Amino acid sequence: MDRNEGNQRKAVFIVIVAGDLSLLFVCKYLAFVVENLDRLPAVNIPVPEIVLPVGISFFTFQALPYVTDVFRTPGSAEKSLVNVALYISMFPQLIAGPIVRYGDVSEKIRSFPVVPAAVVWLKKNLGGGGYQVISGITMVLLMVISFSFVIKGGYSPFIYFQF
């Protein structure tokens, strides 16, 4: 959006906002609308079963102020995708009150270290091999936790011996 001018800039802004809000609508309200339309006579629409992503409303309403700030002040788009993602997923500010504008927190986000101190310490003190071993073990553990429900179901004796 930062590279466009005039009406093209406005069109890109409208498309981004419409896409953001349509994602929220599809995830949260589409089943409700279809269910009510299905009650009309001579209408038979299957109700979609959409799994609701955690925090979809928060992420949507957190992304809208960023897009609005970039639209209103040309040249203010963040160059780092990591910083934008950090702003959009900034859950701790929930207890502070309403949605915070990106301009209010952009300097703090830019000064935040992208690489955590633990990763820097591991690379410096354990060398490349030690870092790879520890990060590999961490990734394996995360995958084991994620896929444990599939494995538990496959090894369950109740699947093979049903009486």
pLDDT value of position 53: 81
For the chain, how are helix, strand and coil distributed in percent, rounded to 5?
A: 70, 0, 30
pLDDT value of position 19: 94
Q: Please check whether residues 54 and 83 belong to one and the same domain.
A: yes
Q: Please check whether residues 18 and 63 belong to one and the same domain.
A: yes
Is there a contact between 78 and 84 (Cβ–Cβ < 8 Å)? yes
pLDDT, one tens digit for every residue, the chain (163 residues): 566 677 888 898 999 999 999 999 998 888 888 888 888 888 788 888 888 888 888 888 888 888 988 888 877 788 878 788 888 887 656 555 666 777 777 777 777 766 666 667 766 777 667 777 877 888 888 877 777 766 776 676 666 666 5
CA 149 vs CA 136, 137, 158: distances in Å: 21, 20, 15
Q: Please check whether residues 93 and 121 belong to one and the same domain.
A: no
**Which residues span the domain enclosing 71?**
3-112
- To which H or E segment does residue 49 belong? none
User: Rounded to a whole number, what is the largest CA-CA distance in the chain?
Assistant: 71
Q: Please check whether residues 131 and 108 belong to one and the same domain.
A: no
The C-alpha atoms of residue 63 and residue 24 are separated, in whole angstroms, by 12
Q: Please check whether residues 118 and 84 belong to one and the same domain.
A: no
Q: Please check whether residues 102 and 44 belong to one and the same domain.
A: yes
Phi, psi of 44 (to 5 degrees): -130, 90
Domain-terminating residue out of 112, 128, 149: 112
pLDDT value of position 148: 73
Q: Please check whether residues 126 and 90 belong to one and the same domain.
A: no
Total count of domains within the chain: 2
